[in-house]
Structure 1
Amino acid sequence: MDENKHPRVSVRLCRSDLERIEKIAGRLHVRESEIVRFALRLAFTKLAPLLDLNARGQELIPIFLECGPELTRHFDLDPRTLDAIINDGLETTEKRVDYEDLELIATLHMPVYHPRTRVGAPPKQEAAQLGYSGALQHYLYQKYIEPENRHAVLNYRTSSLRTPL
């Protein structure tokens, strides 16, 4: 193979995805292959922290909050699998993500009625402003990404909002 040529890759796509690629390429006046490469680069950018095999625990929370519903739905990630991905190999508990919070992340892709029956409704004020998944994302960001604001975080484990699983 010539050094200047890129290797060809075969990918199975459903008809609706192909139609979307064609429409977007037509609208942008570019080749369809450019749309596919752009989508891959975008996905790689969002998932870049997963490339760092040393990233564990709290360091991976932003990925699962930004892409969580899509990731957990597409790859059917349950709390046990999330625990293996996020907490595997962590020796210290300070960077570890609580299993209960992994359950919350796993529920972000479920229909709205399901997580509410398991976790309980978020506070009315937060629910009105953020929606259910937004309230969960806010809670997890405050707890793991911005720990200096932990005193402002609603503790789902001790509040009356959570029902036993």
Structure 2
Amino acid sequence: MSELKHIISLRIENSIRNAVQATASRFYVRESDIYRFAINYMLKRFKCLHEDDFSGSDLLPLMLDIREELIGSLSLKKHQLFNILNGNNVHPDKFVAMSDIELLLTPQHLVKQRLQKIDDSPQSDVDTETWLKQYLLEKYQSPSLQDSSDTQTQSSN
């Protein structure tokens, strides 16, 4: 049995459409196939947002991975991200502080300055994103953040 399909309208910049068309051409598929692929890919990555068990610090690895998109594409505000992370009756052990939510939404060039003010163990030998992940890992002691940090360390070696 096939699901009912809907036609949607979407506004995108010319540069994005050109990139989609070039990708479709390279894959020998229709432009609409690339849009469907992109939506399905994104929904799979965000699957944890549909599970009530995932809340608070459980969602930090995802938010760290999409940090630039949160700032640029989605233009999320701190209260919106607070509700995404802490809105589902989060367990007190998983609660993410507003100051750390603000840190997630802070532009790259300002994160280092903020971390220097709040982190007791300054890290001058690592890049800012790694320092941010380490800071949040230490503060929230999240195993999934540890896995993410280990994977990044291994891939950079």
Aligned-pair distance for 1:4? 6.9
- Where does structure 1 lack aligned partners over 5 or more consecutive residues? 150-165
- When residues 49 and 4 of structure 1 are mapped into structure 2, their CA distance, relative to the original with a 3 A threshold, is closer
The CA RMSD measured in Å over matched residues stands at 2.5
- Kept in 2, the 8 Å contact 1:49–1:55? The answer is yes
State yes or no: 1:138 paired with 2:134: yes
Aligned-pair distance for 1:71? 1.9
SS of equivalent to 1:119: helix
Return the letter of the residue paired with 1:36.
Answer: Y
Instruction: Looking at secondary structure, tell me which structure has more helix per residue.
Output: 2
- Where does structure 2 lack aligned partners over 5 or more consecutive residues? 147-157
Aligned-pair distance for 1:38? 0.8
SS of equivalent to 1:13: coil
Aligned-pair distance for 1:36? 0.8
- Kept in 2, the 8 Å contact 1:57–1:96? The answer is yes
Return the letter of the residue paired with 1:13.
Answer: I
- When residues 92 and 47 of structure 1 are mapped into structure 2, their CA distance, relative to the original with a 3 A threshold, is closer
- When residues 17 and 49 of structure 1 are mapped into structure 2, their CA distance, relative to the original with a 3 A threshold, is same
Aligned counterparts of 2:67 and 2:29: Cα–Cα separation in 1: 30
Return the letter of the residue paired with 1:65.
Answer: L
Percent identical residues = 25
Q: What's the CA shift string for 1:16-53, capped at 9, x where partnerless?
A: 11100110111111111111111111111111111224
State yes or no: 1:124 paired with 2:124: yes
- When residues 27 and 89 of structure 1 are mapped into structure 2, their CA distance, relative to the original with a 3 A threshold, is closer
Aligned-pair distance for 1:118? 3.1
Larger of the two Rg values belongs to structure: 1
Aligned-pair distance for 1:93? 1.8
Aligned counterparts of 2:3 and 2:111: Cα–Cα separation in 1: 51
- When residues 5 and 105 of structure 1 are mapped into structure 2, their CA distance, relative to the original with a 3 A threshold, is closer
TM-score by length of 1: 0.71
